[in-house]
A and B are shown apart, each in its own frame.
Chain A
Amino acid sequence: MEPRGSSGVGSGNSGTYTPEIAESLRFEEEIQSLIDPSFDASSAAGGSFTALLGLPANQAVELLHHPGPGEPPASAATDTLRLPFGCSSTFVERAARFSVFATDDSPASSSGGGLSPGLKAEPPDSDSPPTLPAPAGKPRRPSKRKECEKSKAKAVAKKSKSAEENTSAAKPAAEENTSGDKLPYVHVRARRGQATDSHSLAERARREKINARMKLLQELVPGCSKITGTALVLDEIINHVQSLQRQVEFLSMKLAAVNPRIDFSGLDHILSAECGPLAVASGCGGGASDPAMWASDTAASTGGIRRMPAPPQIWHLDVVHPQQSSTVWENNGVAHPHFLLSPATSLVGYDPASSVPLNSNRLKTEL
């Protein structure tokens, strides 16, 4: 079940926080790898607004986590950033801290002035998760504004999936690859030596299949469709299956308690007549009913059977027991013709089986 977790990440379960964290942690590694290699000033200064959004995040993470070695490029970053923006360092810090920034540009830029200064003086944030989602969220969200978001997302998904399969050898390769990228969204580029497109397609297809099954299971289990997250859904499924198994045990126990007084042989015979020939080990429980009684009931019953009663009817077992005396029939049978509904259909469902009226005559005569 290796891709399971990654499938959650890759397919973007927006409801949970974990994909963001996962993405951000991935992102952090790549940012660290980008510290020394080229900072492309031209791309920072130029490009679209969203490009500017992307870069500050990169630099902000750098600054936060590696204040020492990151200073020269950081200063360069802030210098260039001061060009487009008036208060870049605070802006950068704000950008790094608040993921909302990416979705809502104006408040962020306006609030940039009110931030505490001295980004470099700030100690590296030891608590990585809170800050990391911010930079991770930001580059992803601006990327969504771009046209090629799908391919980026796919590449990101591929990346996240292949994260644990990464060798250390792949990382320098990734550095080279990503550093050569002129676009600011370096993190979405596919790594070298990783799965080719055909593989990723197969993986994606497999993940889709698994997700489809999970959805079906979610629909099956009541109250499961609101739950997000594979582990919780699996929890529910397990509980459901366990409860069903326990119910079977319980019901068999109850049937055992009830059973000695019930003769199921008659039932079985009726079902065999209903469903076709069945090799019944023991013959039908003898007893001949009054044929006249049957004949009078037949006409009434065929009409009754065509009427499907809405509430679940408990058909009288009197129907089943051939040993029942005709007196019982007089009491029950005539008054309620619809109780002569085929026991099979009433037990099983409300199929308007067309064969039922035909069989009913046969049933009656056999019994």
Chain B
Amino acid sequence: MQVPNSFKLALLKQMLLGFQLSAVSSNSMSFHERKNAIKLSADAAMVFARGSTRWTRGLVSSLSKNRNNDGLLRGILGKKYERLSLPCCNSWKIPRSRKILKRCLGLCSRRKKATGPQHDVESSRTLARRLAKKRIQVLKKLLPGGESMEGFSLLDQTLDYAVSLKAQVDIMRRLLKISKASNLNK
């Protein structure tokens, strides 16, 4: 695995901190509240451990949209919260300008194709491109903050995100195993 142990350690630490802060161990919460608190702690811990990347910032912004999460987020992320909530260099202008650019290019190419040679059979290359484009759109929706990313950065962040997710799953699994084992012992 490509994840260093320090990452996993920090992840675990922050997750447990999050559990403490949200007091999941107390009986006062409903099942759903508890589950959401755990998930939030896990995500926030992942963000903390990873540091500042585009997907982490996207994740923080999507998590902080819910007002209830603020306290826990700040508790886990601490000082990093402010840094991570900053919009990264015109993050809203970039996708907008890209959309405009794409629209123009699309119009131009469509005009050219209308005058160019007609093919009954669609070029397989464009077909492959269309398929890949659909997949990329799906990927953008999957990835936190993926809407504003393009091409290489999208793939890069996907890789990063996938690796971090894997580590998160791993840590949670082990935690679960441990807690189950401790339950048995009691």
A21 and B185 contact, CB distance less than 8 A: no
Stretch of A77-85, A107-115, A230-238, A296-304 contacting B (4+ beta carbons < 8 Å): A230-238
Segment 219-272 of A: residues with Cβ below 8 Å from B: 220-221, 229-231, 234-235, 237-238, 240-242, 244-245, 247-249, 251-265, 267-268, 271-272
B27 at the binding interface (Cβ < 8 Å): yes
A258 and B183 contact, CB distance less than 8 A: yes
A166 at the binding interface (Cβ < 8 Å): yes
Instruction: Give the distance to chain A from B142, nearest Cβ to Cβ, in Å.
Output: 5
What separation, in Å, do the CA atoms of A237 and B177 have in the docked complex?
28
- Residue from the list A168, A220, A238, A268 in contact with B139, Cβ < 8 A: A238
| A258 contacts across to B, CB distance below 8 A | 176, 179-180, 183
B132 and A231 contact, CB distance less than 8 A: yes
A264 and B25 contact, CB distance less than 8 A: yes
Q: How many positions in chain B have a CB within 8 Å of any CB in the partner chain?
A: 80
Segment 340-367 of A: residues with Cβ below 8 Å from B: 343-344, 347-349, 351
Q: Is the interface of B mostly helix, strand, loop or mixed?
A: helix
A213 and B131 contact, CB distance less than 8 A: no
B109 at the binding interface (Cβ < 8 Å): yes
A-B Cβ contacts below 8 A, count = 227
What separation, in Å, do the CA atoms of A240 and B21 have in the docked complex?
31
A153 at the binding interface (Cβ < 8 Å): no
- Residue from the list B17, B139, B163, B182 in contact with A237, Cβ < 8 A: B139
A251 and B132 contact, CB distance less than 8 A: no
- What are 25 sample pairs from A and B whose C-beta atoms fall under 8 A apart? A4-B132, A18-B124, A128-B120, A165-B109, A210-B151, A213-B152, A213-B156, A237-B158, A244-B166, A245-B165, A248-B39, A248-B42, A248-B43, A252-B42, A255-B175, A256-B34, A256-B37, A259-B179, A260-B24, A267-B16, A268-B20, A280-B17, A280-B20, A281-B17, A317-B185
17 further A-B contacts with Cβ under 8 Å, apart from A25-B121, A258-B176, are A6-B129, A8-B128, A25-B124, A32-B117, A128-B120, A168-B116, A230-B128, A255-B179, A260-B34, A278-B13, A280-B20, A281-B20, A282-B20, A314-B181, A344-B9, A348-B171, A351-B5
Closest 9 CB pairs of A and B: A317-B182, A5-B129, A234-B135, A231-B131, A256-B35, A256-B34, A22-B125, A213-B155, A244-B165
